[in-house]
């Protein structure tokens, strides 16, 4: 049995005032699995992502990526093996779409023609016509298109791990549903290890192999989507009840 791709061992993180954000949390994600972490705002979801790519280090316990403590990773190397799709996208406003997607390959000093080939592939992969969109500016795109670019950028150097922080949060429901389909299609081809953070249980069920529910800095559920949906835990039920329902006529 190989090491899990990502593993948290008894991890605790506090804010500067000593308020715990995560308390004694353990969790393992196997390679090629999509994990959705669901919780209310301030439940510590984003903190978990930042622990994985070492934007944060735990106060206690350890986080392992590919079997190795993040403290032992050279941070730049670690981060380039992890794609990161941010809340509100975080595209660089001074770069064209193509340049945004090609950022990490350029940092890795790929030759220019290889970068542009890769940018074309990635834009095609996320469903944007490279010829039309590569030269555009981020502020000329719709929210959904920007999000596709964000995904393409995160996948640029084919990292084994992908972290997504509320990637589809700001989109209208129809666009969001389209992007969910798109995500599943892409994941079907690429088989990345993915952690998605969301406050929407519906989104978690739509995308993930595993669902974790965070509440008050602790993982209160961690199972398959079907098992979490049947949970009787009150903290899980609150999130399930918040899912949109179609009124009966």
| CA separation for the pair 138, 143 (Å, rounded) | 9
Nearest-approach distance from CB 146 to another protein, in angstroms: 13
- The count of chain residues that interact with another protein, using the rule CB under 8 A, is 25
| CA separation for the pair 36, 9 (Å, rounded) | 18
DSSP per-residue letters across 71-95? GGS-HHHHHHTEEEEBTTB---TTS
Binding residue (CB under 8 A) for another protein from 10, 59, 60, 107? 107
| CA separation for the pair 150, 147 (Å, rounded) | 5
Query: Could you say whether residue 87 binds another protein (CB under 8 A)?
Result: yes
Query: Could you say whether residue 188 binds another protein (CB under 8 A)?
Result: no
Nearest-approach distance from CB 144 to another protein, in angstroms: 19
Pick the closer one to another protein by CB: 160 or 216.
160
Binding residue (CB under 8 A) for another protein from 7, 13, 39, 53? 53
Helix residue spans in the chain (DSSP H) = 45-52, 75-80, 97-101, 103-107, 112-125, 130-133, 143-154, 173-190, 201-207, 225-229, 234-241
Pick the closer one to another protein by CB: 24 or 79.
79
| CA separation for the pair 148, 102 (Å, rounded) | 14
**Exposed, middle or buried, 211 (CB in 10 Å: 0-12/13-18/19+)?**
buried
Contact pattern from residue 142 through residue 181 relative to another protein, giving x for each residue in contact according to CB under 8 A and a dash for the rest: -----------x----------------------------
Binding residue (CB under 8 A) for another protein from 2, 15, 17, 94? 94
Binding residue (CB under 8 A) for another protein from 99, 166, 203, 215? 99
Nearest-approach distance from CB 126 to another protein, in angstroms: 17
Nearest-approach distance from CB 55 to another protein, in angstroms: 6
Spatial contact of 165 and 46, defined as CB atoms under 8 Å apart: yes
Nearest-approach distance from CB 194 to another protein, in angstroms: 15
Residues 6+ positions from 182 with CB-CB distance below 8 Å: 126, 127, 148
Question: Which residues 65-84 are close enough to bind another protein by CB under 8 A?
Answer: 75-80, 84
- Given the rule CB under 8 A, which residues bind another protein? 53, 55, 75-80, 84, 86-88, 90-96, 99, 103-104, 107, 137, 153
């Amino acid at each position: 049995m190989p090491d899990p791709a990502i593993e948290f061992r008894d991890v605790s993180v506090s804010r500067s005032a000593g308020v715990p954000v995560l308390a004694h949390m353990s969790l393992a994600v196997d390679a090629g699995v999509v994990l959705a972490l669901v919780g209310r705002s301030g439940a510590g979801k984003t903190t978990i992502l930042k622990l994985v790519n070492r934007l944060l280090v735990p106060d206690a316990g350890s986080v392992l990526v590919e079997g190795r403590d993040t403290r032992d990773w050279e941070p730049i190397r670690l981060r380039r093996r992890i794609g990161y799709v941010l809340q509100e996208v975080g595209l660089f406003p001074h770069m064209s779409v193509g340049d945004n997607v090609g950022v990490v390959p350029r940092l890795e000093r790929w030759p220019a023609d290889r970068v542009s080939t890769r940018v074309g592939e990635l834009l095609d992969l996320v469903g944007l016509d490279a010829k039309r969109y590569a030269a555009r500016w981020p502020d000329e795109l719709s929210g959904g298109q920007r999000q596709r670019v964000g995904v393409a950028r995160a996948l640029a150097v084919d990292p084994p791990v992908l972290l997504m922080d509320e990637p589809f949060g700001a989109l209208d429901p129809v666009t969001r549903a389209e992007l969910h389909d798109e995500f599943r299609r892409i994941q079907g081809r690429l088989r990345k290890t993915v952690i998605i953070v969301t406050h929407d249980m519906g989104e978690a069920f739509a995308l993930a192999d595993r669902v974790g529910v965070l509440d008050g800095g602790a993982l209160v559920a961690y199972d398959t989507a079907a098992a979490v949906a049947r949970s009787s835990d009150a903290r899980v039920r609150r999130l399930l009840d918040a899912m949109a329902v179609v009124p009966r006529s």
